[in-house]
Every structure is written in C-alpha cells, then in structure tokens.
Structure 1
Amino acid sequence: MASSTMKRWLRPEVYPLFAAVGVAIGICGMQLVRNITTNPEVRVLKEKRAAGVLDNHAEGEKYAQHALRKYVRNRTPQIMPSVNNFFSEPN
C-alpha cells in the first residue's frame, strides 16, 4: 500500500504542486508568526491582556506600515512594466 502511494505521488509532475503548497503554507506561517509577535491588538500574555483597550496609535501605525508596504508604496502597480509598455504603447 505504501509503495503504491509513493509511486502515485512522488512523480516529477507533482513537484510543482508540492512547491506551490509549500510556499502557501510558508506564507501562512509567516503571517501567523507576524500577527502573534507584532500585532498590537493580539496579547498572548495574561498581564498584557489585563491592560484592556490601549490607545497606542503609534504602535498600530508601525504595524500597518511595515517594510514591504513602504517598499512598494511609490512603485507602479504592474507586475511586468516593460512587457506592458511594449504591448500598450504605439511605436
């Protein structure tokens, strides 16, 4: 039974599927860790939960404006600008 399952799923055609699922799981895990560790609204420790609602706008702004968002803020919203310009702009 185990060898037939291995023959079925461990083919070269299935490697891209494993890669895509692995990347998706990695992104989900990264976002989970980011939310648990840096989100100002998530409090894991009991002492921090006892503080109640905090009006710490600077911490919330720091969490919302993370490094990736700052990096793409002034970029064009295109995935491949050179290809888009080649097909959209006349000669």
Structure 2
Amino acid sequence: MASRWIRPEVYPLFAAMGVAVGICSFQLVRNICINPEVRVSKQGRAAGVLENFEEGQKYSEHALRKFVRNRRPEIMPSINSFFADPQKN
C-alpha cells in the first residue's frame, strides 16, 4: 500500500516541503523566543507597550544582516567580475 503513495518521483516534493516547514518553524520559534514585541507570559502582556528601542534594534540588526550590510549582492563575485568588468591590460 505504501508503494502506491510513496514513489521516487515525489521525493523532491517531500524535500521542498520539508525545507519550507523547517524555515517556517525556525521563524516561529525565533519570534516567540526573542522578538521584543511578542509577549507570551501574562506579566509581559500586562506591561502594555514598552519603549525598549535597544532591544528592538538588537533583534532587527542580527549577525547575518551586519555581515552582508556592506557587501555587493552577488553570489559568485569572481565570475560576475570576469564577465561584467572590462579587461585590465
């Protein structure tokens, strides 16, 4: 019965769905655990609107964003420069 539903042709679909579910799960856990605007506990919700700009800045300016801030948006810079930049003689 399982061979009728699980065929080798659907393995890429399972992989793509697994990656999508993993990314969604990561984002949900990240927001619940460290987002300053999400309050799960009753005391946190009772506090109302907090003006904690430092915590919000720390959340939004994470390490990946700091790493790519001053870099050119290229995946393979050596290949891009080879084809796009004029030859230097």
Normalised to the residue count of structure 2, the TM-score between the two structures is 0.85
Task: Please give the secondary structure, in 2, of the residue aligned with 1:52.
Answer: coil
Equivalent residue runs for 1:1-91 within 5 Å: 1-6=1-6, 10-11=7-8, 13-91=9-87
For residues 76 and 16 of structure 2, the distance between their equivalents in structure 1, rounded to whole angstroms, comes to: 21
Flag structure 1 segments of 5+ consecutive residues without an equivalent: none
Flag structure 2 segments of 5+ consecutive residues without an equivalent: none
User: 1:2 Cα deviation (Å)?
Assistant: 4.0
For residues 67 and 33 of structure 1, the distance between their equivalents in structure 2, rounded to whole angstroms, comes to: 17
Q: CA RMSD in A?
A: 1.6
- Sequence identity (%): 68
TM-superposition CA deviations, 1:4-45 (whole Å, max 9, x none): 212xxx30x433332222112111111110001111110011
Normalised to the residue count of structure 1, the TM-score between the two structures is 0.83
